Amino acid sequence: MDPSDPTSASPPQVHRAFELLPFQPALWLPGPHLQTVGGKFLRPPPTLPLTRERIATPDGDFLDLDRTPSPSGNAPLVLILHGLEGSTGRGYVRLAMEKLHSRGIQAVGMNFRSCSGEPNRRPRFYHSGETGDVAVVVEHLRRSFPDRPLGALGFSLGGNVLLKYLGELGDQSLRLIQAAVAVSVPFDLVAGTQAIETGAMGRVYSYYFLRSLRRKTDAKAHLLEELVDLDAVRRARTLREYDEVATAPLHGFPGARRYYEVSSSARFLDRIRTPTLLLQAADDPFLPAGSLPEASVRANPFLRPGFTPAGGHVGFVAGPGPWDPRFWAESEAARYLAQLLGGS
């Protein structure tokens, strides 16, 4: 397939022939919750330095990008999108950057608005379906590095945003993004939100995210007080309640359910024309197994399913013991992107 022809009807042979290495979950981290929590705390500290660049958005706000050193002058680039209330400082982002660098690829991490350590200027944040900022960053990278292949890697919420963006572009996506990987995607946000509200661990996850979201809302109360009910935001005890009183009104949705419906990436999978690897565990506690869109994925030859029975949410921890953990998702994502983009 000619990468310059966005209307090519079939994915490249290297995508079709790509074989995932098997994932063997660590026996000492049984079950989805231990995989999820273990993945958060066991990823190694970063070693690569980052260079920050701030770019302007069309609405007078800003986005902060963090870039690793380039392994070579013409190295491929990969844009990384983090998950809910994450940043480029998260362990999974930094490990992905290390794995990409080891394969001759330069990584550029995008911090969603309010996630770079400094509140954004506008009375809004980011959300699971916000693709406009990604488009701004992709266009900036294409202008800055017109001759370098560009890929993308999204985790969790960032994976949902990435897939929705690629689906919205349709036949034009390959002109901008030559290969992509999405990890632990909440394809169905209605079902995913219901899942995270279920059981004791669901309440733990919700508390973790809500504490951060409420703190950011309070920090921008002077900008938001005319747009949202701040007392209702502070009373929110689930992500659905927060999205109903904050995310939806701030971003033009009539309510949380409509926001979830129109932002779910499952609706866009059939339109994706960029070769894309999907790494997803059937036991992901953020998405019920019955909501995994297996039929849609297998019907689109541009999508390569990497579905595993276990792995949790952005976990995928292997290895003989906690003294030597291995992280399958970042390694396989980097290997796939290197093969598609021309890394080592």
My answer on whether 175 and 142 are in the same domain is yes
2 within some domain: no
With residues binned 3-state (H G I as helix, E B as strand, rest as coil), the percentages for the chain, rounded to 5, are 45, 15, 40
291 within some domain: yes
Average pLDDT value over all residues in the chain: 94
Domain boundary among 241, 263, 285: 263
8 within some domain: no
Q: Which residues contact 62 (CB under 8 A, 6 or more apart)?
A: 54, 55, 56, 120, 121
My answer on whether 163 and 215 are in the same domain is no
Confidence of residue 3 (pLDDT cuts 50, 70, 90): very low
pTM given for the model: 0.95
| Measured CA angle at 166 (ends 210, 338), to 5 deg | 95
Domain boundary among 219, 244, 263: 263
Which residues of 32-82 form beta strands (DSSP E)? Answer: 51-56, 62-67, 77-81
164 within some domain: yes
1 within some domain: no
My answer on whether 94 and 215 are in the same domain is no
For residue 45, give the CATH number of its domain.
Answer: 3.40.50.1820
The yes-or-no verdict on residue 285 having pLDDT over 50 is yes
Contact 171, 209 (CB under 8 A): no
- Which pLDDT does position 200 carry in this prediction? 87
My answer on whether 101 and 195 are in the same domain is no
For range 35-61, the mean pLDDT: 97
Confidence of residue 203 (pLDDT cuts 50, 70, 90): confident
Q: Which residues contact 175 (CB under 8 A, 6 or more apart)?
A: 4, 6
My answer on whether 280 and 166 are in the same domain is yes
Confidence of residue 2 (pLDDT cuts 50, 70, 90): very low
- Which pLDDT does position 187 carry in this prediction? 98
My answer on whether 199 and 306 are in the same domain is no
My answer on whether 196 and 328 are in the same domain is no
Q: Which two tokens stand for residue 38?
A: 């273990």
My answer on whether 291 and 144 are in the same domain is yes
Domain boundary among 263, 283, 315: 263
The yes-or-no verdict on residue 4 having pLDDT over 70 is no
DSSP 8-class letter at 68 = P
- Which pLDDT does position 96 carry in this prediction? 98
Q: What is the pLDDT of residues 117-167, one digit of tens each?
A: 999 999 999 999 999 999 999 999 999 999 999 999 999 999 999 999 999
For range 291-306, the mean pLDDT: 96
Q: Number of structural domains, the chain?
A: 2
304 within some domain: yes
6 within some domain: no
Q: Strand 326-327 and strand 317-318: pairing?
A: antiparallel
Q: Which domain holds residue 155?
A: 13-188+268-341
3 within some domain: no
My answer on whether 159 and 277 are in the same domain is yes
My answer on whether 304 and 252 are in the same domain is no
Spell 253-263 as b/e; 16+ CB within 10 A means b: beebbebbeeb
Question: What span, in angstroms and rounded, lies between the C-alpha atoms of 321 and 33?
Answer: 17
Residue identified by tokens 């949705």 is: 253
Residues classed as catalytic:
156, 284, 313
Give me the half-sphere count of Cα atoms (radius 13 Å) on the Cβ side of residue 171. 5
Q: What is the pLDDT of residues 315-325, one digit of tens each?
A: 999 999 999 99
My answer on whether 61 and 161 are in the same domain is yes
Contact 111, 66 (CB under 8 A): yes
What percent of the chain clears pLDDT 70, i.e. is strictly above it?
Answer: 97
For the CA atoms of the chain, what is the radius of gyration?
A: 19
Confidence of residue 1 (pLDDT cuts 50, 70, 90): very low
My answer on whether 19 and 120 are in the same domain is yes
